[in-house]
Amino acid sequence: MGSEGAQRHVVVLTGAGISADSGVDTYRDAGGLWEGHRFEEVATPEAWAANRELVWRFYQLRRQKLAAVEPNAAHLALVRLERELAARGEGFTLVTQNVDDLHQRAGSTVLPMHGELSRLRCEACGSRPADREHLDEEDLVPCPDCGAVPLRPDVVWFGEMPYHLPEIEAAVARATHFIAIGTSGAVYPAAGYLSYARASGAWTACQGLAEPDNLDPRDAFFGGRASEAVPELVDALLADPPRV
Ligand code: APR
| Residue 1 belongs to a domain | no
Residue 228 lies in a domain: yes
- Look at residue 32 in the predicted model and tell me its pLDDT: 60
Mutation pick for ligand 1 pocket among 113, 154, 187, 233 (CB with most ligand atoms within 8 Å): 187
Does any domain span residue 222?
A: yes
Q: Do 130 and 234 reside in the same domain of the chain?
A: no
132 and 231 both lie in a single domain: no
Residue 100 shares a structural domain with residue 182: yes
Q: Determine how many CB atoms are found less than 10 A away from the CB of residue 35.
A: 9
Please tell me the residue having the least CA distance from ligand 1 atom 28. 187
Q: For residues 166-205, b (16+ Cβ closer than 10 Å) or e, as one string?
A: eebeebbeebbbbbbbbbbbebeebbebbbbbbeeebbbb
Domain that holds residue 172: 9-24+71-114+161-238
Separation CA 150–CA 179 (nearest Å):
38
pLDDT in tens, 199-219: 999 999 999 999 999 999 999
Whether residues 61 and 94 fall in one domain: no
pTM of the entire structure?
0.95
User: Is any atom of ligand 1 closer than 6 Å to the C-beta of 75?
Assistant: no
Residues 6 or more apart in contact with residue 117 via CB below 8 angstroms: 59, 62, 63, 66, 99, 100, 101, 153, 155
182 ligand 1 Cβ < 6 A: yes
Please work out whether the CB of residue 184 comes within 6 Å of at least one atom of ligand 1.
yes
**Same domain for 106 and 94:** yes
Cβ–ligand 1 distance for 162 under 6 Å, the answer no
C-alpha–C-alpha distance, residues 148 and 144, integer Å: 9
Q: Does 230 lie in the same domain as 197?
A: yes
Ligand 1, atom 14: closest residue by C-alpha: 184
Residues 218 and 133 in one domain: no
Do 232 and 167 lie in one domain? The reply is yes
207/149 Cα distance (integer angstroms): 42
Residues 171 and 190 in one domain: yes
Is 150 near ligand 1, meaning CB less than 6 Å away? no
Average of pLDDT values for 13-25?
A: 95
Contact between 170 and 162 (Cβ < 8 Å): no
Residues 191 and 227 in one domain: yes
pLDDT per residue over 41-67, tens digit each?
888 999 999 999 999 999 998 999 898
Number of domains in the chain: 2
Is 59 part of any domain? yes
Whole-number average pLDDT of the chain: 93
Please give the Cα distance from 168 to 27 (Å, whole number): 23
CATH number for the domain including 213?
A: 3.40.50.1220
- Give the mean pLDDT of 110-125: 96
Which amino acid makes up residue 70? Answer: E
**Banded model confidence at residue 8, pLDDT cuts 50, 70, 90:** very high
Does a structural domain hold residue 106? yes
Residue 180 maps to a domain = yes
Which atom number of ligand 1 is nearest to the Cα of residue 190? Answer: 28
pLDDT band at 34; cut points 50, 70, 90: low
pLDDT (0 to 100) of residue 133:
81
Domain assignment present for 55: yes
